[in-house]
Amino acid sequence: MSISQELYFKSSQLIPGGVNSPVRAWTAVGGGPLFIARGQGSKIYDVDGKEYIDYVLSWGPLILGHAYKQVVEGIKKQLEKGLSYGAPTEQELILAELIREAMPSMEMVRLVNSGTEAIMTALRIARAYTGRKKILKFEGCYHGHSDSLLARAGSGLATLGIPGCPGVPEEVASLTLTIPYNDLNTLKEIINVHGDDIAAAIVEPVAGNMGVVIPEKEFLPELRRLTQDKGILLIFDEVITGFRFTWGGWQNVVGISPDLTCLGKIIGGGLPIGALGGKRDIMSLLAPLGPVYQAGTLSGNPVATCAGLITLQILRERKDIYTSLADFTGTLCREIEQIFTHRGLAIRINHMGSMFTIFFTEEKVRDFASAARSDVKRYAQFFQEMIRQGIYPPPSQFEAWFTSIAHTADDLEKTIAACRRAVDLI
């Protein structure tokens, strides 16, 4: 028995499922999870000493790779000054200024502790601002685990096959309207019928939690137009997409200004953080300025803001990073696709910038329904073969792969070679 197996057995006696976030349990791909001892650059190392090229990257935030030198050095200096104060710091302000510079739609910014918390707060503000109760979301988009948003969500719920979540009262669930991603006809219909009751529409502008699903050309512009016409606030959940494709968010790429934006992942440089921001008149509802309450002892934590600040400064100074990442990821996706095509196996690779998903299906994946028809058993076989060869993909068909600036040409060659051997064995 490996050390990972021993730890998983012990952990399962104490921690529900043996893990502190469901997808880590490898339920969808079989076998017990690896317990990780350390990470460096593009690699992670398990407790048994085996090396893996990492394409999970802590589910996206490590765009610079593991233990990036400048980030680590900055954190060390901050640790000597203290871990937490429960009081304002200058670097909170500097981080907020950087975020606003990158995303001008975020005229005011509130730092919180996670993406879930940012989104939960954004919904509360939207309801207060509009005086309406209902929320519109899209199937397969995961916006954290707050009660209002677990209806037909992606990510862990998709992986585990759970359609909703016990413990969420029907009265709460009934306030969330859910329609297919990329479906403009249904969008127009539901806004015509329920528009006057909808406080906010929330969307992942590039979906990453049913696997990567790209918005079709007219989807987001039409969503912006329809919500604006009906006085519905548009919330972009850029927890994954923020600073992943460009200096800023997907809103910068498509030229759409949402009313509220939620961030996480990269703005913490690998440490827990979240942020929400938007138009000044909307954000002014937040306490202590306004009546909408939100608080957090660790909000704006100096260690997390230090890591995030260094990361964003590097991304601002080196904007060529995004071109390099897109080139690397594009090459990897093309090579993988050729391997499967040569073997006569059907896959679809949805790819945007430094994110991608290999769907084991013949059909185009444009929404949650088409993603859900993928062959999850075949993906599980592929995953296990890649793990055996030292490649660490996401342990779910319905998650994104990520690349970082730490990934090298040698990593690319090893990944392609591993994929070629895996395809021969599945």
Domain edges within the chain = 3-67+319-425, 69-317
Active-site residue among 8, 181, 265, 367? 265
- Residue 235 and residue 213 in contact, taking contact as beta carbons nearer than 8 Å: no
Sheet holding 391-392, edge to edge: 36-40, 43-46, 51-54, 391-392
Only one residue has tokens 């400064």, namely 313
The tokens describing 273, both together, are: 């953080």
Helices (H), 280-408: 280-283, 302-317, 320-343, 368-372, 376-388
Does residue 151 carry a pLDDT above 90?
no
Does residue 174 carry a pLDDT above 90?
no
The yes-or-no answer on residue 52 being catalytic is: no
State the average pLDDT for the chain: 94
The tens digit of pLDDT for each residue in 29-51 reads 999 999 999 999 999 999 999 99
Q: Which residue has the higher pLDDT, 171 or 129?
A: 129
pLDDT given for residue 166 in this prediction: 77
The yes-or-no answer on residue 46 being catalytic is: no
Average pLDDT estimate for 212-233: 98
Q: How many whole angstroms separate alpha carbon 188 and alpha carbon 192?
A: 6
Active-site residue among 237, 259, 367, 411? 237
Using CA atoms in the order 272, 11, 59, 111, what is the torsion angle rounded to 10 degrees?
Answer: -10
Does residue 255 carry a pLDDT above 50?
yes
Average pLDDT estimate for 330-337: 98
Does residue 154 carry a pLDDT above 50?
no
The tens digit of pLDDT for each residue in 3-23 reads 999 999 999 999 999 999 999
Quote the distance between the C-alpha of residue 295 and its chain's center.
Answer: 23
- Percentage of residues in the chain with pLDDT exceeding 90? 91
pLDDT given for residue 276 in this prediction: 98
- How would DSSP label each residue in 92-161? HHHHHHHHHHH-TT-SEEEEES-HHHHHHHHHHHHHHHH---EEEEETT----S-GGG-TT--THHHHHT
Q: The domain 69-317: what is its CATH number?
A: 3.40.640.10
Average pLDDT estimate for 284-294: 97
Sort strands 401-402 and 274-278 into parallel, antiparallel or unpaired: unpaired
The yes-or-no answer on residue 237 being catalytic is: yes
Return the minimum-mean-pLDDT range out of 80-84, 164-168, 215-219, 304-308: 164-168
Task: List the one residue out of 238, 296, 295, 294 whose CA is nearest residue 267.
Answer: 238
Active-site residue among 142, 181, 379, 392? 142
Average pLDDT estimate for 218-232: 98
pLDDT given for residue 416 in this prediction: 98
Quote helix, strand, coil % in the chain, to nearest 5. 45, 15, 40
Equal CATH topology for 3-67+319-425 and 69-317: no
Sheet holding 233-237, edge to edge: 108-112, 274-278, 260-263, 233-237, 198-203, 134-138, 176-179
Q: How many whole angstroms separate alpha carbon 282 and alpha carbon 125?
A: 7
pLDDT given for residue 350 in this prediction: 98
Confidence of residue 216 (pLDDT cuts 50, 70, 90): very high
Does residue 162 carry a pLDDT above 50?
no
Average pLDDT estimate for 350-379: 97
Name the CATH superfamily, with its identifier, for domain 3-67+319-425. Aspartate Aminotransferase, domain 1 (3.90.1150.10)
pLDDT given for residue 247 in this prediction: 96
Confidence of residue 161 (pLDDT cuts 50, 70, 90): very low
* Cα 1 to Cα 4, 103, 119, 401, distances in angstroms: 8, 50, 42, 29
| 101 phi, psi to nearest 5 deg | -60, -40
